[in-house]
Structure 1
Amino acid sequence: MSGSLNLMKLCVGAEGPDDLAAWQAQRFGDGNARHVTRMWPKREAELLDGGSIFWVFKGVMLARQRILDLQRVEGEDGVQRCGIVLDRKLVRVSAVPRRPFQGWRYLAGADAPQDLPEGREVEEPLPPAIAAALAEMGLR
């Protein structure tokens, strides 16, 4: 991830990565997931060159999905929006606390948390408050 430009987004309404995966499966079936946002990223080419969207659940960044494409989507109100097409695979990452923010933010690859080692991604996640405290201490 160190060379890629990524997005960071709050995942409102989901308790954690498993909840998001279940919602996406219900909503999109076997197809790619899509997240629609109001703003179009100006750094589109960098995002499409291996970037991911990093999901923040209850103040802790816990997972990412690779960005496959950006598509224009017209809302029912006639306003053009950006549809971020995502790989369905949710990759668990080391827990990193994040303060609330609106919309999405760019996240440089060098600042992105590392993927969890193989085998750890299926462990029961720590409660968000504990994961955030450990991450603040540098013990993620």
Structure 2
Amino acid sequence: MSLNLIKLCVGCDSVEDLEEWIAFRLDERWRAGEPVEHYHTTRMMPTRSAEVTDGGSLYWVIKGNVQCRQLITEIRPFTDDEGIGRCHLILDPAVVLTEWQPRRAFQGWRYLKPSDAPADLSKGKAGLVEMPPKLRRELADLGLL
């Protein structure tokens, strides 16, 4: 059974910001002749990595709400230049919109059971996907999303 991770998406004001950042970083790697893959670096190595890479996703908290997720395809541990153990969470660059779920701020990442994860936005909720991010945020702040 798969297990997910949840993390704050620091520096992004919207899912669109995250998608632009991913596109920028992939282009940057391509131009540098590096492998074109998207990853997030974290200090803590998930001890349950086999469960996470078995179909788990990284759910992003943006502006106090889980708003999207990315599939975790691999976890690569490494030691940085200062001798600190870290890992790369290798992510599918495709961002999947989810139903908004309020979350308080926390440090690092946390495990997220599939039963606690917000559902992907279905085709029946296409209007939410097409809604401008600012309007979605205002409706969420009012508790209407």
**TM-score interval, normalised by the smaller of the two chains:** 0.7 to 0.9
The CA distance in 2 between the partners of 1:44 and 1:70, in whole Å, is: 7
Q: CA RMSD in A?
A: 1.8
Between the two proteins, the alignment pairs up a number of residues equal to 134
TM-score of the aligned structures, taking structure 1 as reference length? 0.86
Question: Structure 1 unaligned runs (5+)?
Answer: none
- The reply on whether 1:115 has 2:115 as its aligned counterpart is no
Could you say which structure has the greater relative contact order, defined with CA pairs below 8 angstroms and 6 or more residues apart? 1
Name which of 62, 70, 73 aligns with 1:68: 73
What's the TM-score, normalizing by structure 2? 0.84
SS of alignment partner, residue 7 of structure 1: strand
Match of 1:124 in 2: 132
For residues 109-133 of structure 1, what are the alpha-carbon distances to aligned partners after superposition, in whole Å with 9 as ceiling and x for unaligned? 0110000013343432344353154
Aligned-residue identity in percent: 43
Name the structure 1 match of 2:11: 13
Deviation at 1:79, TM superposition (A): 1.4
Matches within 5 A, 1:10-89: 10-29=8-27, 31-89=36-94
Encode CA deviations 1:74-128: one digit per residue, 9 max, x unaligned: 3221212010000000000000000000000100001100000133434323443
Secondary structure class of the residue paired with 2:58:
strand
More helix by share: 2
Deviation at 1:27? 1.3
Given that residues 48 and 67 in structure 1 are in contact (C-alpha distance below 8 angstroms), is that contact kept between their aligned partners in structure 2? Answer: yes
Gaps of 5+ in 2: 31-35
- Shift of the alpha carbon at 1:32? 2.4
Q: Is the Cα–Cα contact under 8 Å of residues 73 and 82 in structure 1 kept in the other structure?
A: yes
- For the pair shown, the structure with the greater C-alpha radius of gyration is 2
